[in-house]
Each structure stands twice: as C-alpha cells, then as structure tokens.
A and B are shown apart, each in its own frame.
Chain A
C-alpha cells in the first residue's frame, strides 16, 4: 500500500496528465469517427480553459460551475464552427480548423481578460486525480451509450459515404454539427480540467503543437476507435518518462513512432484487436 502511495506521490502529475490527454483524444475521436478531419480540439480546450479560469478568478464561481459553463461554451463554439466549414472536407477542413485554432490562440494572446501572452495564474487546483478520472469515466460512458443509438449509425454512415447517407435519410449537416459540438464539449472538459489541474494557463498551451499531439495519439491508437485513441494518448504521455535518455530527441522519437505505426499498422493499435467489418447494432 505504501509502495502504491509512493508511486502516486512521485507520478501524480503524469497520472493526471494521462487522464486529461485521454479525454482530449476521445474528443478528436468523435470528429474522426464522423469522417471529419476537424483539428480544432486545442482551440476548444483553450476556450473552455479560459472561460473556466475567468469565471473562477474574476467572478469567484465555484469550480464545478465554471467547468460546466466552460463545457457548454466549447460545445456551442463547436456547433457554430460547423456552419462556416459545412462544405469543407478532408485536408481543406483540417486547414480551416487549424486556422480557427490559430485565431483563438492569437485572440487569447492579445486580450486583457485572458492575461495576454502571460496567461492566467493562481487557479485553484481542484481538478485532482479522482475528478479527472471520474470525468474520463463519464465521457467514456456517454460515448458508450451513444454507440447504442441511431446517432452512432448516422456517424458511421457519414464517415463511409455522405452521399449514400443522405440517400437513406441521414441529415448529414446535423450529424456533422452534433459531432463537432460533442467533440468541442469533451475537449472543453479537458481544457477546464487542465486549467484547474495545472493552475496556470497561457495561449501557447492551446496552440498547434497541442493539436498535433492529439492527432498523433488518435492516429497511433486508431482513428475510428475511442479505445485506441485513449491507449494512444496514454502510451505517448508515458513514453517521454520511459525514454528520458532521449529527452533531447523527443519530437524525433515521436515522429519515428508515428511513421512506424502508419507504415506497419496503418489502422492504428485498434486494428490489432479489431478485425472484420464494422458492426453497428441499433
């Protein structure tokens, strides 16, 4: 028992980080499952982190309430973003949403209320390990329950063939909007948890580098597998600790791992246990 407590004491920060990263990976997985390469998760995360931080520091709201409002705000922004990008697919959607992320980062960098480039500090560290993993469990449960609904079927159909999906009665626009809103809400939850875990946020915490990390977790885990995305996030969060002797070459190491996965396991880790056709039973 003491060994476990000792292990937790030494690695609590990493354990919390893994939980938050897993939530983030799930948020992108939602968009990817709908066939949308929408790379705005870091922006949603940042919006929620700042909403939560502002409500906490400037208006002294209780942390739980700030997280709830932050999640709603990120979901609304996700839904709103769906409209201007409604005709974009693939790499064009990726570029547009990366651009949106940069806009959010630049705005945060220049607004007084967000603390500008210096960011915001002094947040209460209320997002402890229990809160983070309880949030992850809630997100996983919600996604599991959704996987039993017609929404999951609609998402799979839109991913496979939007044209044919329309032909069987799927409102593709609504599915895309809902998946971006849901992805935004989950990323927002991760952002609010991050703010209340690290106690300090800056605009660069939510820039392109973060987005790239999230995408790599999902590619390595398997782009249409929530479980794979979580494993990808967990694995790549732990990896730097395991290969500290390569700390100077961290980005190169990540790049090599990504290439190896793309070349040898193109379906990601999930493809190692998930064979055969996609089954959706609703």
Chain B
C-alpha cells in the first residue's frame, strides 16, 4: 500500500503540490485526474524520488520512502511509466524487460518474458525487436511490461493511453484491471474519462496542486467543483 500524507512540492516560490494525501491500495486502481498543470506528474515524480518533498511523507507499506534516492525507491517496489515514453530505444525488447527486472536478484527467463508481454497485451511482439522500432501503442505497452518486470507492489502509470486510438484505449482497461487483480496497487493518471471510469475503483482530483475531490468515478464526474475545474462549463463531457 502506498500512502502519501500532506505531501508538498515547491518549485522556486510556486507550490506544485500542497497538502496532498492519498492511499493506493493493493488490488485496486486509483485514478488521478486534473487539468494540465494540476500537479499529477509532479506527484509521481515526488513519489519516485525525482522531485524533492517540501513537506509531508510517502510510505510504502511501513517503509518511509520519501528522501530516498530514486533507484532505492524503485528497488523498494515502486515502478512507473512516463508521460513521454522513456524506453531504452536502442536496446531490444528483451533487454528492456531485463532492465525492468534490474533490481531483482534472479535472471529473467524466456517464459517470464513471454508472460510479461502477454500481461501488457503485446504477446505478439518479438523479444528480439528493437524497442524504438515498435508501433507507438506497443511501445506504451512495452513500458508497462518493463514496469511489471520489476515485480512491483505499486505501479504508477502516467497517461498510458496518450496517443492511443479508442480501440487501443478500451483494451487497456482489461490490462489495468488484470494488473490490479494480481495484487499490485495501481495509480493511473489519465485524461480519458472513459478509461478512468472503466478502470478505476476510485478517483482523486487535483487542481493547482491541491486535492479538490475524491470518490468513485461516477461521484467525481458529477461533482460540480470538478466539472468547473476540469472542463470549465463543459460538464457533459464528464457525465
């Protein structure tokens, strides 16, 4: 279980995050939504050690992980994907998955490679293919497979559907639900409300670095504060 308590992040004189608290439980998918610049990626960066906390704490089960260097947080069991794909492009698919399993003591076997690709929904991808040569959607899914290779207890997905077409996005729902069902706590940052509603058990809404709402996807979608902050007057888009 990942627990953020009163987390604050400051860039210069600007509060990128202020008093953000949330819990991501094992076996569940928590959605994190909000307008551009709300602080969603900053929250992931703060959790994974890439942005220093100005206040608050981050715990992975009983282990306090804020203040640890990024590689130690990863080794503790927090895996992530990136808003802009950050595969090891010159390496082949196999090596990318081995990279994901870097912190694990045992070698990644071929059957695990196949299993990881299958879990990410790209069972048809050749492990010997160069990562950067894959289709865009497959690269997104390979990044998920790489994160899963770490056998994480928490998986943070930063806009995994960005750039995907609607049919690819729909298929992601099953992928995320299956990942959560395997006992992983999943935090999903996403703009696509169709995906959020289908995949998430609960949603936290950020705006200007603060939590403005939380609840089930349908409750949040009806919250007038969220509608105003997220979409201005276009309330029907969340409905």
Contacts and interface: CB of A to CB of B under 8 A. Distances in A.
A164 B70 CA distance: 10
B208 interface: no
A153 B107 CA distance: 12
A172 interface: yes
Contacts of A11: none
Interface in A155-198: 156-157, 160-161, 163-172
Given A153-B98, A277-B128, A166 B92 contact: no
B95 interface: yes
Contacts of A167: 48, 70, 74, 79-80, 82, 86
Given A161-B88, A277-B92, A150 B71 contact: no
A169 B103 contact: yes
Given A153-B99, A169-B103, A280 B91 contact: yes
B69 interface: yes
Contact of B102 (A168, A279, A281): A168
A170 B150 CA distance: 12
B94 A157 contact: no
A154 interface: yes
A170 B82 contact: no
Interface string B112-129: 000000000000000011
Contacts of B74: 166-169
B88 A164 contact: yes
B146 interface: yes
A276 B95 CA distance: 13
Contacts of A1: none
B89 interface: yes
A233 to B, nearest CB: 24
A170 B101 CA distance: 10
A171 B48 contact: no
Contacts of B150: 168-169
Contacts of B69: 166, 171
Nearest to A150: B102
A279 B71 CA distance: 23
A87 to B, nearest CB: 14
B181 interface: no
A88 to B, nearest CB: 19
A278 interface: yes
A142 interface: no
Interface residues on B, range: 20 to 34
Contacts of B72: 169
Contacts of B146: 168
A161 B131 CA distance: 13
A254 to B, nearest CB: 29
A154 to B, nearest CB: 7
Contacts of B92: 276-279
Interface in B14-50: 48-50
- The winner among A160, A164, A167, A281 for most chain B CB atoms within 10 A is A167
Given A161-B86, A164-B86, A277 B80 contact: no
Nearest to A160: B88
Contacts of B86: 161, 163-164, 167
B209 interface: no
B55 interface: no
B88 A171 contact: no
B160 interface: no
Contacts of A150: 102
Contact of A282 (B75, B90, B107, B130): B107
A165 B75 CA distance: 12
A219 B236 CA distance: 59
A228 B92 CA distance: 21
Contact of B103 (A156, A161, A168): A168
Given A164-B88, A277-B129, A282 B82 contact: no
A157 B71 contact: no
Given A169-B74, A277-B91, A153 B102 contact: yes
Contacts of B89: 160
B130 A277 contact: yes
13 contacts: A153-B99, A160-B89, A160-B90, A165-B99, A166-B69, A169-B71, A169-B102, A276-B130, A277-B90, A278-B95, A279-B92, A279-B128, A280-B91
